[in-house]
Amino acid sequence: MKPAVYRARWILPISSPPIEGGWLAINDHRVIDLGHAHQSPPSEPIDLGDVAILPGLVNAHTHLEFSYLEAPIGQPGIKLYDWIGEVIRSRQLVGQSQTAALAFSADAIRLGLQQCYDSGTVLVGDIATTPFMIVEPLSEPVPEVVSMAEVLGLNSIRAQQKIIAANEHRERLSGNRNFCAGISPHAPYSTPLQVVERCVDIANKHDLTVAMHVAECNEERRLIENGDGPFADKLKELNVFSAGVFPWGPDATMNLLNTLSKAPRSLVVHGNDVNEREIDLIAKLSKRRQMSVVYCPRTHAYFGYENHPVLKLIAAGARVALGTDSLASNPDLSLWGEVQWLIEHRQDIEWQAVLAMATLAGADAFGRQDLGRIETGSSARLLVLPTNAANVDELGASILRHRPRWLTA
């Protein structure tokens, strides 16, 4: 098959500096070559004109099952522990009939995947409540999904049920063309450390990605370090507090990070409340092990948290990817919307760093070196954005005014 060759005003490989007036060649859904304006392409290129080409986006954290929601749950500034109570009530209403709930979940997943695809997303890291309704058949093209079965339970019976369900989830997804399995011990306030260790063991046995909500707020830290505070009160109100589970001790988060780092790939979701010691540890584990932080900018803002320590994490050498979280805390699942919001509200972060979080870092977090960059051998699922930028300094502001569309090769 003859390769398709494209020329554009700008190509953004992400893994290397932007190329002005460059070209790329695509064959069999792969980039087979790319070059600068002064280099000759293998054949006469199709000139796309005043556009920038960049890799498909990676949404490293969401909950697709909430995509039926028309608005976030609660109100801006709601405390996390109160929001969790509202989420549980919402789920109970949906789940009154399990058959209806599964069908509803399938529709929600389709809606969520469509939103992700329409905003330029090529890969989604999804937290899946079991039993999970596999959406088959899916119309093409759609994002690939790493579907991480949620494991939680402050009592051993509940936790064992979820471990069994996570193994069944992995077996059901074996060989699926759209979905691959992962595992997600939910959060420190819902999942004892011993259960996290079991999830990591399963991940190592089957080469799975592990994702866990960690250090979301200071009240979470108080619960796992001291065993008291408003989170403990909320768990008691919900009748799920188990005596003896808390506290974990003063180094609770450090111990948790070390446990997660033993997995083949681990995602520290949110990380809003990590301190200097924990940032240093995450950075070391990012280099030594496949650990990443996933920052969800608009969800972070919805809860009214102070500035996320994303710059400190990056400066220390940690890998930071972007996610949307779910429609329970965000108006949509557009990762491009996260990019635009972050550029507007965190002007201390350079636009090229934001794009790298939305592409390269997310792909690497899942061990997908074929995504998130434009280089020989990478995926040709690429995006196009209008721009008439004359130089790199103008490029960021120029492309961020627009919505991406897919390059059809």
Please, which residues have CB within 8 angstroms of residue 196's CB and are 6 or more apart in sequence? 185, 212, 256, 259, 260
Work out the pLDDT band at 191, boundaries 50, 70, 90: very high
The CATH number of residue 381's host domain is 2.30.40.10
Q: 274 with 386, same domain?
A: no
Mean pLDDT is lowest, of 7-16, 130-139, 140-149, for 130-139
Work out the pLDDT band at 404, boundaries 50, 70, 90: very high
Q: 265 with 398, same domain?
A: no
Give the 3-state secondary structure of residue 261. coil
- In the prediction, which pLDDT does 94 show? 59
The CATH number of residue 175's host domain is 3.20.20.140
Handedness of CA 213, 218, 220, 226 (dihedral sign): positive
**Domain extent at residue 48:** 4-55+373-406
Specify the DSSP element, H or E, that contains 184: strand 179-185
Q: How many CB atoms neighbour CB 377 within 10 A? A: 10
Q: Look at 107 and 381; give whichever has higher pLDDT.
A: 381
pTM of the model: 0.96
Q: 327 with 402, same domain?
A: no
Q: 353 with 387, same domain?
A: no
Residue 137 pLDDT more than 60?
A: no
Spatial distance between the Cα atoms of 246 and 226, rounded to a whole number of angstroms: 7
Q: 65 with 46, same domain?
A: no
pLDDT cut 70: percent of the chain above it: 95
Place of tokens 């329409």: 118
Q: 43 with 114, same domain?
A: no
Q: 384 with 301, same domain?
A: no
Average of pLDDT values for 226-233? 94
| Tens-digit pLDDT profile for residues 292-320 | 999 999 999 999 999 999 999 999 999 99
Which residue type is seen at 287? K
Work out the pLDDT band at 328, boundaries 50, 70, 90: very high
Q: 224 with 83, same domain?
A: yes
Average of pLDDT values for 138-148? 85
Q: 48 with 156, same domain?
A: no
Q: 51 with 177, same domain?
A: no
Q: Domain total for the chain? A: 2
- In the prediction, which pLDDT does 93 show? 65
Q: 276 with 312, same domain?
A: yes
Among candidate residues 399, 293, 283, the one with its CA nearest the CA of residue 339 = 399
Q: 262 with 390, same domain?
A: no
- In the prediction, which pLDDT does 88 show? 87
* Contact assessment for residue 337 and residue 302, using Cβ atoms and an 8 Å cutoff: no
